[in-house]
């Protein structure tokens, strides 16, 4: 049975990448959630939060914690308020490339 | 109390108007503060009673348009108001002057005539915040640097958000547009629309659905922009990394796509609106 995770019960008022990471950790730390069969409800969340940085950080954090689940995480079903968000999230998720956690300074 | 902010570009102009009515003791929301003429938009700040009287007066006036609106408003002030009430009302209008959209303000308590046409204007208690943000952006070199409709919408969403800091401005906006020589209007679903085409009043929830989608896109563009600014601010500490640049590049690509989506959505709205009013669609 599909598990629905309610984003507004997890997310706080942080910056989009921080909140994306928070969501990934909450999902992966929840033993009752099967990433193969989960829907994440992000309705009633500000559109300014649900941007590319949010979803890229979500996937990046999944990769850092459980790299074997990255491809499954790309197939997560998202419930969103707006039509354009569905298309945008698909674009971001498809284009995401995981990075090694070590970031080279300029 | 109120906030109206208008901006005009090459072939379009936009007027954002909040909906809050306040006294010393209470506040109420959902007031229509923008009147939609055939080819102009008019907003008022100050007394709700005088503003509605002006709307009523215009709706009963003979055929009029951008050319005759300023004189007609002066006539309203001179014939319908006592001088003691001049300070209680301010107007802002988006109209066409010599074929181009412009923004004008009219403060009867201070000036005899409307101010000269400009590309930008704001009135009401929230205008201080809007002006401050506009000037900040101009000084920082991040002012709106485009005159296309989408450029103006993106700039206006940021500016009107600044007015949220005012206690007497709410976030239930009405959005008027001049586009292709015509007027269009949409806005928050909770606005009580009284002065508009009867078909629009009847279909306000559908008009509002277009507004929600467009505002969602504008807010997403603002979110992407803010995040890119935040990443770039690391340069102050010499900690900007390749990864940060990659994030900014991703935001840039995302904004490009969101702007295309917004342009498409705006066209869907104008088509829907033209169909509703039974007029040919914009080309």
pLDDT digits (tens, 9 = 90+) for B50-70: 999 999 999 998 889 999 999
Q: Which of B107-116, B121-130, B167-176, B227-236 has the lowest mean pLDDT?
A: B167-176
| Integer angstrom CA distances of residue B127 from B66, B135, B205 | 24, 12, 28
Q: B144 pLDDT band (50/70/90 cuts)?
A: low
Cα–chain-centroid distance for residue B242?
Answer: 39
Among candidate residues A49, A50, A70, the one with its CA nearest the CA of residue A59: A70
Contact A19, A54 (CB under 8 A): yes
Of the candidates A16, A82, A103, the beta carbon closest to that of B243 is on: A103
Give me the half-sphere count of Cα atoms (radius 13 Å) on the Cβ side of residue B5: 26
- The chain-wide mean pLDDT, for chain B, equals 90
- Do residue A91 and residue B257 have CB atoms under 8 angstroms apart? yes
Bigger pLDDT: B175 vs A101: B175
Rounded to 5 degrees, φ, ψ at B14 are -135, 140
pLDDT of residue B161: 83
pLDDT of residue B143: 60
Among A11, A13, A14, A84, most B C-beta atoms within 10 A, so best to mutate, is: A84
Alpha carbon distance B18, B3 (integer Å):
6
- Do residue B254 and residue A92 have CB atoms under 8 angstroms apart? yes
pLDDT of residue B236: 94
Q: B20 pLDDT band (50/70/90 cuts)?
A: confident
- The chain-wide mean pLDDT, for chain A, equals 92
Rounded to 5 degrees, φ, ψ at B113 are -130, 160
Number of H helices, E strands in chain A: 4, 3
Bigger pLDDT: B166 vs A79: A79
pLDDT of residue A105: 40
Task: State percent of chain B over pLDDT 70.
Answer: 94
Contact B247, A53 (CB under 8 A): yes
Q: B27 pLDDT band (50/70/90 cuts)?
A: low
Q: B145 pLDDT band (50/70/90 cuts)?
A: low
Among candidate residues A51, A91, A23, the one with its CA nearest the CA of residue B248: A51
- Backbone Cα Rg of chain B: 19
- Do residue B241 and residue A104 have CB atoms under 8 angstroms apart? yes
Q: Domain residues of chain B, as ranges?
A: 4-277
Q: List pLDDT tens digits, range A55-71.
A: 999 999 999 999 999 99
Q: List pLDDT tens digits, range B214-249.
A: 999 999 999 999 999 999 999 999 999 988 999 999
Predicted confidence (pLDDT) at residue A106 exceeds the cutoff of 50: no
Predicted confidence (pLDDT) at residue A104 exceeds the cutoff of 50: no
Separation in Å, CA of A82 to nearest CA in chain B = 6
| CATH entry 3.60.20.10 includes domain B4-277 | yes
B209: exposed, middle or buried (Cβ count in 10 Å: 0-12, 13-18, 19+): middle
- Do residue B254 and residue A88 have CB atoms under 8 angstroms apart? yes
Q: What average pLDDT does the segment B125-140 reach?
A: 83
pLDDT of residue B249: 94
Contact B20, B31 (CB under 8 A): yes
Whether the CB of A98 is below 8 Å from some CB of chain B: the reply is no
Separation in Å, CA of B162 to nearest CA in chain A = 15
Q: A97 pLDDT band (50/70/90 cuts)?
A: very high
Predicted confidence (pLDDT) at residue B281 exceeds the cutoff of 60: yes
Strand-pair partners of B186 = B175
Predicted confidence (pLDDT) at residue B153 exceeds the cutoff of 70: yes
Contact B65, B40 (CB under 8 A): yes
Q: Per-residue b/e over A28-40, b at no fewer than 16 CB within 10 Å? A: beeeebebeebeb
Contact residues on chain B for A87, CB-CB shorter than 8 A = 261
- Do residue A51 and residue B230 have CB atoms under 8 angstroms apart? no
Q: B186 pLDDT band (50/70/90 cuts)?
A: very high
User: Residue B88 CB: number of other CB atoms within 10 A?
Assistant: 16
Q: List pLDDT tens digits, range B96-105.
A: 999 999 999 9
Global pTM reads 0.92
Q: Which residue of A has its CA nearest to B263?
A: A84
């Amino acid at each position: 049975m599909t598990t629905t995770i309610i984003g507004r019960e997890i997310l706080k008022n942080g910056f989009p990448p921080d909140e994306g990471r928070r969501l990934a950790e909450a999902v992966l730390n929840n033993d009752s959630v099967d990433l193969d069969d989960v829907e994440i409800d992000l309705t009633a969340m500000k559109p300014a939060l649900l941007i590319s940085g949010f979803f890229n950080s979500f996937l990046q954090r999944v990769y850092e914690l459980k790299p074997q689940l990255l491809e499954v995480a790309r197939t997560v079903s998202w419930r969103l308020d707006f039509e354009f968000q569905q298309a945008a999230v698909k674009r971001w998720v498809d284009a995401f490339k995981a990075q090694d956690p070590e970031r080279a300074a300029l | 109390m109120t906030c109206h902010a208008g901006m005009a570009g090459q072939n379009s102009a936009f007027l954002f108007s909040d909906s809050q009515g306040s006294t010393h003791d209470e506040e109420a929301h959902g007031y229509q503060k923008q009147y939609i003429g055939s080819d102009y938009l008019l907003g008022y700040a100050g007394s709700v009673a005088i503003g509605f009287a002006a709307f009523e007066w215009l709706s009963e006036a003979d055929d009029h348009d951008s050319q005759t609106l300023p004189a007609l408003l002066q006539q309203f002030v001179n014939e319908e108001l006592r001088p003691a009430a001049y300070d209680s009302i301010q107007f802002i209008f988006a109209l066409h002057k010599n074929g181009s959209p412009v923004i004008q303000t009219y403060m009867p308590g201070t000036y005899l005539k409307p101010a000269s046409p400009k590309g930008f204007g704001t009135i009401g208690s929230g205008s201080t915040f809007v002006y401050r943000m506009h000037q900040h952006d101009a000084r920082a070199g991040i002012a709106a640097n485009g005159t296309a409709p989408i450029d103006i919408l993106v700039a206006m969403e940021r500016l009107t958000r600044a007015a949220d800091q005012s206690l007497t401005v709410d976030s239930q906006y009405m959005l008027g547009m001049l586009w292709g020589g015509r007027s269009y209007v949409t806005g928050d679903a909770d606005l009580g629309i009284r002065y508009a085409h009867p078909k629009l009043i009847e279909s306000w929830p559908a008009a509002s659905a277009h507004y929600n989608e467009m505002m969602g896109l504008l807010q997403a563009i603002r979110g992407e922009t803010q995040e890119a600014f935040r990443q770039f601010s690391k340069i102050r500490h010499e900690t900007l990394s390749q990864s940060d640049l990659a994030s900014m590049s991703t935001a840039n690509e995302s904004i490009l796509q969101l702007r295309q989506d917004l342009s498409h959505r705006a066209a869907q709205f104008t088509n829907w609106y033209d169909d509703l009013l039974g007029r040919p669609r914009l080309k």
